[in-house]
Amino acid sequence: MERSSNRRDTTTSPNLTSIIVVPIVPFFFSLTFNQATPDAWRACVDRYQCTSYPEVKFWCLQTLAHAFLVPNLLAELPETDVAVLHRTMMGFVGDAVANTSGSEPGGVPPFLKNKLSQCVALVAKIHFPDRWPGFLRDFLGLLSTGNLSNAADMFCRVLDAVDETCVCGAFGDAFDQRCAARVKDAMRNDAVALTQLVDAFATLIACPDLKIATAATSTAMRYVDWMDVSLFTSVRTQSNPPQSQSIADAARVALTSPNPDRRAAGCAFFTSLVAKGMDHSQKIELITGLRLVDVCAHLHAVSVGDEDEDAAVCAAQLTAAVGHELLSCLRAGDAAAGADQTEPHAASPPTHTLTQAALLTDTLMPTGVAHLRNDDERVVAAALPLCAAYVHRLKADRGSSGRTIEGKKRDNGVVQVSRDTGGFGFGDGGVLGFGGVLGGGDSQSPTQSHSRNVGPVCVNPETARGALGAIASACVARGAFPDERRAGVDFSRGDCHRVKEAEAETAEVRRELGVLFRAVARCAPPIALHAVRSALIAALPLGSDGQSASQQKPTWQQVESAVAAVHSLGEGANDPAVKPGCEGFLTDASVAGNGLTHTDQLNASSPLGELFEFVVSRWNGEIFGETNSSLQQCALHPQSNPSASHRLVAPVFLETCVRYHLAVARNPGQLLLPVLAAFLDQRGARHPDPEVAARACYLFSKFVKPLRPQIAAYLPEVLSAMEGVVLSCVEPLQVEMTRVNGNTQSLNKGTGGAMATVGNDDRLYLYEALGYLLGTEDDAIPARTQIELTETYCTRLRHRLSLAAAQNDSQTAARCIVGMANIAKGFSVRLAAETRPEIGVALCVGLEMATSSLSHFDTQNDGASVLIRQRVVAYFQRMVQGVGERAFPFAVPLVHKIAQSGTKKDLKECFVLCNQLAATFKDKLGVFITQVSPLLVEQTMNALAPFVSPDGRTHGVLGLVRRIGDVANFLSAADAAIATDQMTPEKEAEFNALKNTEDSREARELEVAFVAHVHALGSNQLVFALQGGDLPPVREGVQNLMTTITATRETVLASLAAAAAAHPSAVSRKAAVQALTKLALHWFPMAPNNQTNEPVPGFSQFAVEVVVNECCVAAVLRGDLDVRDAAGAAAVGETVAFQRLALERLGPFFATQLRDEVLVKRFGLDHSLANEYIAAVASTAQTAHRDARAVIGRCQQVVGGARPALRKRPCKR
């Protein structure tokens, strides 16, 4: 070690660095990690002093820093070593300031200065002030020596390190928090050193050297939070010349510097200074004295033409910080004015403070709103919270008295806007109230107005309206897509991934702005309405609006943003608000703008409905009020509105039409044909961009559905316009659609079911619209015409389906099937099955062909069969709703084709389909059940067989039991498996692994579906289909059918009993008992003791001997089901319900047998407890379930003692 310490580096060969550094680094780290001796730090210090290589110096300091972090190493140093360490550290700092510690032209490298500063801060963290009381003074004394640039650099670096290492420790553990408190208290208490520190900050911040001034400003910002604010804002005269300035004055000069870095540092400093906690009066005085509002305006003006992108961000952050503090003061006044004066509450700031804060806020808000229009998203993100806070304060409701739904009301100096209507239908709209010091000309103190409905205090109504209008206009303008030259993309290319990214970015900004815009709309509906009107007038001008030929035409971005704002207003409004002609909604002709509508029309319309009328009237450049007689007249006029067909503008207009369909319904003469034309020409379904065209088809279906009666008058013309598009919808797309678009919030809302899977797209919704049009129940459409049109379109799809099947084109075949299903959506059962049954026949022919196509595609192994089957099932379900019982003939073939594979997934799908049909048609489905149930039950037994184990624990599947006589043997096998195969953690882990496989999961789901199917039969009066009697002959060999039904019924009963008695899942036991209860409701004798009148002979005996004894009593009293567990308690409740039903239907004889033979003799209960059990089970009181659980719990304890040999069949959830 001595040789290593005393050896001096005299050579300048670069290779010597690696010779020294490689052995030195592990050597020094070994000192740190092994802590061989307390004075190991000396080796680092010695080595630092004798080397000229910055890399070696760095690793010396790095090792030293690690050593200082060793617990108690610094705290336990002897005093002599402490003094040496302090002198050495300050000597190193002094060398860095004097630039004598290195021979390189650039001086000490920055990375070495940073590490040295960190070491000094670590020592100060432990020793200051107790063992190093002069640290701050010693350190500040170095500034008077050496080069000013080096001195300032080390000054800032060391103070930054002290802040990061010591002060920020307040957010660490308890030790770091104590150190932080000690260091801060010591610096506050040393008045002399503190004065020197503040003087140094002021001098360096005012330094002409930009680098020094910027670094000093950034460092001073770190100490604003916990040092007294007077140190930064007061001019001290004891040690400074009279002309010296404070830190804040020096930093404020930096805000006007042409250098962007210095301005950014000044903004950050004042942001921290303004956010510092202090009294509201002091805060307002500080903002006023520093003229920060004027500074914010200046910074914004400078940043507009500045090439530095961060300049505007810093200006916006400072503006937001100042604005939040001003609003915080005003909110304190609002809270005090609205508080109950009889209750304790915080005092309001003085009136002059509130007045000054309000004036400063009014002056600042134009700057904040201007930041909202900035192209930089970071600037917008900084300005949004300020504007939102301003708006929310104005709409804050201070009470409920005086609320009205009749528009405006002035009460005691408070101007209110209807909350119940929100002006135009916003149900949660707030109250725009102006009261207090400046409200409505009232000059009283806000603390004197607590007896009335008080709005925000100190609000100038005119200024507030101007600010709200500016915010709303900024939200609309900034929500536009960026200029294509600036963004570097061509938004007309929907297939470019960069375009998609730009769209997503714009959508994200628009979502944030949309929240603010709707807040303005709720606060002041006329103002938001006026902002949108102004945007529309600018985006959709006419020659009569005064636009000269020299003026630039509106861009598509302006048009899209304005129409999207109309859509945004409609999203938050209720339906009556968008109907023209509705009364009771706030209208304000004074803000209507020029050239919209006649005054009488405006007053007779809802504001939103009138706004939509204006959009439609200008979309093709027409004069409002002109009546269009045909779709041809409303076709696209590119010269009038070239933006209408842009791929990002067209969907927004169509979205808006769907939202405002009530306005179209109210005024179809002027609005319907222009909107239909937009849907069906190059702006919609015929758009060259496939995404836009597909979206238009989806929106058209949504538009047509509620407007069928109005469109019926133009049906031939509409169908003619749809002709070419309808024919092409089932053909595959030539390009792949990405389904990414962000024009409005609802633009990408889902297309569920068959539309969303492979092989289809939103174009097929055009067939849904076609179905709605063809299925219109209007006498204006002749029956023959309606039938012929339906047959024509269905025939085309059937022909295309036949051709696709011949070509093995499963994708096109699936589209054809979905198209036919969508057409069927438009027809009601009354129309298709009763009024005009020929329509139902035409629809059913397509279902027959679709079902037959299953056999063809089942031979393919590329997933085509699954795709076609999904479509056919969806088609059949739709036909059930459209033609009712006419779909029955296709149900059995469909189920047989689906179940043909015998897979677990297909069988489950069959059960689900049967259950849906049962819920719809109830007892009318009896013949169908007799035809499909035997096959499904048999195939289910075979599919579950590979997963069955005696106790069901391997895969969680118990399987099906063939005969009732096999139940006893089945349960015995389960008991034997439980007794011989003890569950260990290893075996349980193995079983869990098996259960997590896909096959195991499908098997459990199939078992659940089987039980649910039996339950559905009982719930929908279909159990007679399993009785085996009173069935109409459905085919030859009725006797064989009866035998099959009997065998199926026996399998069903045996399987349910086995599951209820031994299934390892409490939920499955509950479901099995529920299903048995549903069967018992129909198959128990209707009168007690009338066993000869059983619908199913022998069912009562089976219920008593198997269901009651094994499933209800034994399974519960053995302790299989825990009444304290939710799932177990639910299963116990079902067993109680079955026994109650048996007691009601089977009479006293069964009650006696249950008590004597089962409860007393088999399970060892005494007669009194057995009688209590039966009484609890038979009770129908409101607390019967809870009382039964309590009695059963006591019985379980008795049985556990009286029959200890009984083995449980444990089950979990």
The pLDDT tens digits of the residues spanning 1171-1195 come to 999 999 998 888 888 888 888 888 9
Give the distance between the most distant pair of CA atoms in the chain: 120
Q: What's the pLDDT at 264?
A: 87
Whether omega for the bond prior to residue 133 falls within 30 degrees of 0, making it cis, is no
Q: Binning pLDDT at 50, 70 and 90, where does residue 504 land? A: very high
Q: What's the pLDDT at 230?
A: 84
- What value does the mean pLDDT take over residues 1133-1149? 91
Instruction: Report whether 613 contacts 671 (CB < 8 A).
Output: yes
* Cα three-residue angle 1028-1032-1036, rounded to 5 degrees: 90
What's the rounded Cα separation, in Å, for the pair 551 and 719? 41
pLDDT tens figures, 969-1000: 998 888 888 888 766 777 677 767 777 788 88
Gyration radius of the chain over CA positions: 42
* Cα three-residue angle 284-289-295, rounded to 5 degrees: 95
Out of 95-99, 573-577, 580-584, 995-999, pick the least confident: 580-584
Strand, coil or helix: 502: helix
Q: What's the pLDDT at 384?
A: 96
Q: Binning pLDDT at 50, 70 and 90, where does residue 577 land? A: low
Q: Within 10 Å of residue 807's Cβ, how many Cβ atoms?
A: 10
Q: What's the pLDDT at 385?
A: 95
Q: Which has more confidence, 431 or 1013?
A: 1013
- Sign (positive/negative) of CA torsion 910, 915, 918, 920? negative
* Whether the predicted pLDDT of 868 surpasses 80: yes
Instruction: Report whether 1202 contacts 1166 (CB < 8 A).
Output: no
Q: Within 10 Å of residue 768's Cβ, how many Cβ atoms?
A: 25
274 token code pair: 């303004």
Q: What's the pLDDT at 435?
A: 41
Q: What's the pLDDT at 833?
A: 85
464 token code pair: 């507030």
Half-sphere exposure of 1208 (CA within 13 A, CB side): 16
Instruction: Report whether 978 contacts 1001 (CB < 8 A).
Output: no
Q: Within 10 Å of residue 1010's Cβ, how many Cβ atoms?
A: 27
Q: Shortest CA distance to 940 belongs to which of 915, 903, 965, 974?
A: 903
Out of 403-412, 478-487, 930-939, pick the least confident: 403-412
Instruction: Report whether 274 contacts 286 (CB < 8 A).
Output: yes
Q: Within 10 Å of residue 969's Cβ, how many Cβ atoms?
A: 11
* Whether the predicted pLDDT of 448 surpasses 70: no
Q: Binning pLDDT at 50, 70 and 90, where does residue 618 land? A: confident
Name the range with the highest mean pLDDT among 21-25, 1040-1044, 1103-1107.
Answer: 1103-1107
Q: What's the pLDDT at 591?
A: 36
Q: Within 10 Å of residue 213's Cβ, how many Cβ atoms?
A: 26
What's the rounded Cα separation, in Å, for the pair 868 and 872? 6
Q: What's the pLDDT at 444?
A: 39
What's the rounded Cα separation, in Å, for the pair 586 and 598? 17
Give the percent of the chain with pLDDT over 90.
Answer: 33
Instruction: Report whether 581 contacts 611 (CB < 8 A).
Output: no
Q: Within 10 Å of residue 749's Cβ, how many Cβ atoms?
A: 10
pLDDT tens figures, 696-731: 999 999 999 999 999 998 999 999 999 889 988 888
Would you give the end-to-end CA distance of the chain in angstroms?
69
What's the rounded Cα separation, in Å, for the pair 722 and 720? 5
Question: 763: which residues sit within 8 A by CB, 6+ positions away?
Answer: 693, 694, 697, 725, 728, 729
What's the rounded Cα separation, in Å, for the pair 504 and 512? 13
Q: Binning pLDDT at 50, 70 and 90, where does residue 1207 land? A: confident
Instruction: Report whether 565 contacts 513 (CB < 8 A).
Output: no
By CB neighbour count within 10 A (0-12 exposed, 13-18 middle, 19+ buried), where does 69 fall? Answer: exposed
Q: Within 10 Å of residue 628's Cβ, how many Cβ atoms?
A: 17
pLDDT tens figures, 642-697: 889 999 999 999 999 999 998 899 889 889 999 999 999 999 999 999 999 999 99
- What value does the mean pLDDT take over residues 315-326? 94
Q: Which has more confidence, 755 or 792?
A: 792
Whether omega for the bond prior to residue 554 falls within 30 degrees of 0, making it cis, is no
Please, what is the average pLDDT of the chain?
A: 80
Q: Residues, the chain, total?
A: 1213
252 token code pair: 């404020």
Q: Binning pLDDT at 50, 70 and 90, where does residue 534 land? A: very high
What's the rounded Cα separation, in Å, for the pair 837 and 884? 11
What's the rounded Cα separation, in Å, for the pair 816 and 767? 10
SS3 of 103-172: the string is: CCCCCCCHHHHHHHHHHHHHHHHHHCCCCCCCHHHHHHHHHHCCCHHHHHHHHHHHHHHHHHHCHHHHHC
Give residue 205's identity as a one-letter amino acid code. I
Give the percent of the chain with pLDDT over 70.
Answer: 80
What's the rounded Cα separation, in Å, for the pair 951 and 979? 10
Give residue 82's identity as a one-letter amino acid code. V
Q: What's the pLDDT at 1118?
A: 86
* Whether the predicted pLDDT of 133 surpasses 80: yes
Q: What's the pLDDT at 811?
A: 87
pLDDT tens figures, 57-97: 898 898 888 888 888 888 888 888 888 999 999 888 888 88
Q: What's the pLDDT at 628?
A: 64
802 token code pair: 């036949």
Q: What's the pLDDT at 522?
A: 86
List phi, psi (to 5°) of 686: -100, 15
pLDDT tens figures, 587-601: 343 333 434 343 333
Give residue 686's identity as a one-letter amino acid code. R
410 strand-pairing partners:
415
pLDDT tens figures, 810-849: 888 999 999 999 999 999 888 888 888 899 898 899 988 9
Q: What's the pLDDT at 342?
A: 65
Q: Tokens 């899977």 appear where?
A: 757
Q: Binning pLDDT at 50, 70 and 90, where does residue 887 land? A: confident
Q: What's the pLDDT at 381?
A: 94
Q: What letter does residue 737 receive in the DSSP assignment? A: -
Q: Binning pLDDT at 50, 70 and 90, where does residue 1028 land? A: low
Strand, coil or helix: 415: strand
The DSSP string of 666-680 is H-HHHHHHHHHHHHH
Q: Binning pLDDT at 50, 70 and 90, where does residue 760 land? A: low
Q: What's the pLDDT at 983?
A: 66
Instruction: Report whether 930 contacts 1031 (CB < 8 A).
Output: yes
- What value does the mean pLDDT take over residues 1010-1018? 94
Q: Shortest CA distance to 197 belongs to which of 208, 187, 207, 206?
A: 187
